[in-house]
């Protein structure tokens, strides 16, 4: 979700 | 950043470059689904809203901008470029956007991690990306006559998805709390859609013959 680790993915 | 993630991003980038190369140098978009390209443009436009709110890294920002600019350029080329647009196979590319966009949006409203605009848009983009290749696969099946660049484009996209799955497995074992069901399931669905194509791609590669899909 927003602002967690998975958000560094494209 | 692990090696699978980097390799995944690079194959994704390569797929876009192959497509732009085909369009730009051969001035042809034969065999390319405009519907799929428009869906990808929508995927990136809704996913990368965080460009305005969060900074992750220079790499992250640059890649996001590349995917945004390239996807909208490809759509522009196919729709408006005076030579390229003539090669667009409109009669074969008949898949309807809203068959995919509407269910994905409704699903994102129901299944998401947080009920906020940005979060729902992000979730919607994941669901839509999972199925956005369908018009392209349908077009390949219909035309059957697939040129090398189009085949490589779809192959690279499939490779990118497969490498992302390896990236998630790696991150799950190396990072605490790395559990993302929505991302994983939509990513898995997306990769499985390529399975059939991959089978015929490898067959043609192994037998050294031109790629042709069964009708």
For B135-180, the pLDDT digits (tens) are 999 999 888 778 888 999 999 999 999 999 999 999 999 998 888 9
- Sign of the four-CA dihedral B71, B185, B131, B30: positive
B12 and A8 within 8 Å at the Cβ level: the answer is no
Contacting residues of A for B184, CB less than 8 Å apart? none
**Which value does ipTM take for this structure?**
0.82
pLDDT for A4 equals 63
A1 and B56 within 8 Å at the Cβ level: the answer is no
CA B204/CA B210 separation, integer angstroms: 6
The CA–CA distances, whole Å, from B120 to B23, B107, B109, B112 equal 33, 9, 6, 6
Tally of CB atoms within 10 A around B1: 12
Q: Are B33 and B95 in contact (CB under 8 A)?
A: yes
**What average pLDDT values come out for chain B (215 residues) when binned by 10 residues?**
96 96 94 97 97 93 97 97 95 94 98 94 97 94 84 95 97 90 96 90 86 81
pLDDT for B200 equals 86
Q: How many residues does chain A have?
A: 10
Contacting residues of A for B69, CB less than 8 Å apart? none
Q: Which of A3, A5, A9 shows the shortest C-beta gap to B175?
A: A5
Confidence of residue A2 (pLDDT cuts 50, 70, 90): very low
| Tokens at B133, concatenated | 């290749």
Q: DSSP H helical segments within B58-180, as ranges?
A: 58-80, 97-110, 117-131, 134-143, 148-174
């Amino acid at each position: 979700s927003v602002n967690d680790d998975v958000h560094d993915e494209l | 950043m692990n090696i699978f993630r980097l390799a995944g991003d690079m194959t994704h980038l390569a797929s876009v470059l192959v497509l732009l190369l085909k369009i730009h140098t051969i001035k042809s978009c034969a065999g390319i689904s405009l519907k799929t390209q428009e869906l990808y443009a929508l995927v990136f436009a809704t996913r990368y809203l965080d460009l305005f709110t969060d900074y992750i890294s220079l790499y992250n920002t640059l890649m996001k901008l590349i995917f945004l600019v390239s996807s909208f350029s490809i759509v522009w080329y196919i729709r408006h470029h005076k030579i390229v647009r003539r090669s667009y196979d409109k009669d074969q590319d008949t898949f309807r956007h809203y068959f995919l966009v509407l269910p994905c949006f409704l699903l994102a409203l129901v299944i998401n991690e947080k009920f906020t605009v940005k979060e729902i848009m992000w979730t919607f983009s994941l669901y839509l990306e999972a199925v956005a290749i369908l018009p392209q696969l349908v077009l390949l099946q219909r035309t059957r006559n697939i040129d090398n660049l189009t085949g490589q484009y779809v192959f690279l996209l499939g490779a990118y998805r497969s490498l992302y799955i390896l990236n998630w497995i790696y991150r799950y074992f190396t990072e605490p709390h790395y559990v993302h069901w929505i991302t994983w399931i939509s990513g898995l669905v997306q990769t499985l859609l390529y399975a059939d194509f991959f089978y015929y791609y490898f067959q043609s590669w192994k037998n050294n013959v031109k790629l042709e899909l069964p009708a």
